[in-house]
Chain A
């Protein structure tokens, strides 16, 4: 099994608090997933064009024509918090 997962970093990104036991468990599980994915690296992709898109469709465009937007108050009603026409969220400064 590989040992690539920095569980402290991953749990910070996921905003999850893990105890020592969980850290051990999830490191091991995530490393297993990585091993599984790494099987793809064994494929020879030398002469294969990189995938730009998973579907075969090109040049689907819109006209530059303004249409009515939706009602702001209705949208804000769905938000947990709003004020002065804005959505309100806790401040996050990295």
Chain B
């Protein structure tokens, strides 16, 4: 039989109905201060080999000791994904040879993982809720980072140990997923839930969350599991969907052409939008590690970790709908991230109406914060300062357009919003005497528009209102201008 390794055109004759069996393995870097087994700083992005020591350089004879914090963060992550924490877990040496792992084995949990039997609910393509099961979650150390380079004709790899020993949890799903959409949704739910509990950042872009997919096909109605192919190197939610869809079609074509599928690993190439073969899949032996201690966990300790879980998104959404009378869409926009929800609630606590708070937070503040590469927790535009500005909007001291300009200035200094408004002349002009003079000028400058109005084209008022506001450089109160204009023009 032929071996099917290479990507083929997507066209295939649909002779038989196939169903895809998809399982995901998701590596997530925990955000502890130190690495998993040593006191080095857990900052993989620092200048190469800055955070290293004999333990994470994997020198012979060192004593790996796990940090309490890593165990706690890993446990909280497992609880957020509804897993059963195991009372006893232990580390194994997963043996493989590669330059990113010079000691020859990775400390991982194989025989006794930290947690088993979890689940998350996702919303599928048709809008219905679906539960996807998690087989287990285990802890393991990350390996060194390799940078591949070519010097003339010589191919070399540069090794950076900053990431060696970074604490990971690996989430392994049951092969419950049947289509690319559900796989994307599963990752999306994890990417929301885990940062919520604050144990990891889960950025696919920065590699703090890495997703591998195992994919096999079988004729609809059969139960036997066929040989699977592992796909790696997807660096966005979208590419997960694209890579899985591509791989399903590729395997379908192999079956239709009578080619054998063999167990191997493929890489997603985002440029060419295909998967390419990387290597045969070699599962090394896993043997109990004698240096890291066994972890024994009591029910009481698990309860303590459970108490550290915050209100989860689903509960928060239900509460927001009830408490703040917001629509589902509005609620989703403010609860997708813990810090956004916190900011929203602080604004409301300051006395801003929920609707105004959602509107300014989502359409103005978040984009501005993102543009400045800041985050809501650390920005100088605190809820107190934004609330002061929004009060002025609600009281019509400042109109919405000016308020947007003031918001930009709030980022630049620590000044009180009221001072910025007063000092830089952002107050809304509601003074009728002042406005009437301007309106008279606009009316005499635009005789045609006045004529249009009298011949029944009422939209001319809108045009004239705009002209007056322009004269004030946007500071006139639009409602007052319109009212005065309508009175005068008659």
Interface, chain A (partner B; CB < 8 A):
13, 50-55, 57-67, 69-70, 72, 75-76, 83-94
Tell me the number of A-to-B contacts counted with CB atoms below 8 Å: 122
CB-CB under 8 A for A70 and B54, given A86-B147, A91-B148: yes
Asked if B158 is at the interface of the complex by the 8 Å CB criterion, the answer is yes
**14 sampled A-B residue pairs with Cβ under 8 A:** A61-B66, A63-B67, A63-B69, A64-B32, A64-B34, A64-B69, A67-B34, A75-B49, A76-B49, A86-B49, A86-B147, A87-B158, A88-B159, A89-B156
Interface centre among B48, B65, B290 (most CB of A within 10 A): B48
Asked if B296 and A59 make an inter-chain contact with CB atoms under 8 angstroms apart, the answer reads: yes
- The residue on A at minimum CB distance from B71 is A61
A84 to B161, CA, bound (A): 13
Determine, out of B39-47, B124-132, B370-378, B481-489, the stretch whose residues face the partner at the interface: B39-47
Asked if B288 and A53 make an inter-chain contact with CB atoms under 8 angstroms apart, the answer reads: yes
Asked if B278 is at the interface of the complex by the 8 Å CB criterion, the answer is yes
Residues of the B chain whose Cβ atoms lie less than 8 Å from the Cβ of A83: 158
Asked if A85 and B39 make an inter-chain contact with CB atoms under 8 angstroms apart, the answer reads: no
Asked if B288 and A51 make an inter-chain contact with CB atoms under 8 angstroms apart, the answer reads: yes
A28 to B279, CA, bound (A): 30
> Which residue of A58, A63, A67 is within 8 Å of B68 (Cβ)?
A63
Asked if B280 is at the interface of the complex by the 8 Å CB criterion, the answer is yes
- The residue on B at minimum CB distance from A70 is B53
Give a binary string over B125-164; 1 marks a CB under 8 Å from any A CB, 0 the rest.
0000000000000000000000110000001111111000
CB-CB under 8 A for A91 and B155, given A57-B293, A60-B65, A86-B160: yes
A53 to B107, CA, bound (A): 13
A50 to B90, CA, bound (A): 12
Asked if B67 and A64 make an inter-chain contact with CB atoms under 8 angstroms apart, the answer reads: yes
A57 to B161, CA, bound (A): 29
Interface, chain B (partner A; CB < 8 A):
32-34, 37, 39-41, 47-54, 57, 65-71, 88, 90, 97-99, 111-112, 147-148, 155-161, 278-280, 288-290, 293-296
- The residue on B at minimum CB distance from A72 is B49
Asked if A59 and B290 make an inter-chain contact with CB atoms under 8 angstroms apart, the answer reads: no
- The residue on A at minimum CB distance from B167 is A64
> Which residue of A60, A61, A67, A91 is within 8 Å of B39 (Cβ)?
A67
Residues of the B chain whose Cβ atoms lie less than 8 Å from the Cβ of A69: 40-41, 50-53
CB distance from A44 to the nearest CB of B (A): 20
- The residue on B at minimum CB distance from A73 is B49
The 8 closest A-B pairs by CB, nearest first: A64-B69, A86-B158, A94-B279, A67-B39, A52-B90, A91-B155, A60-B293, A87-B159
- The residue on A at minimum CB distance from B36 is A62
Asked if A64 and B70 make an inter-chain contact with CB atoms under 8 angstroms apart, the answer reads: yes
Residues of the A chain whose Cβ atoms lie less than 8 Å from the Cβ of B71: 61
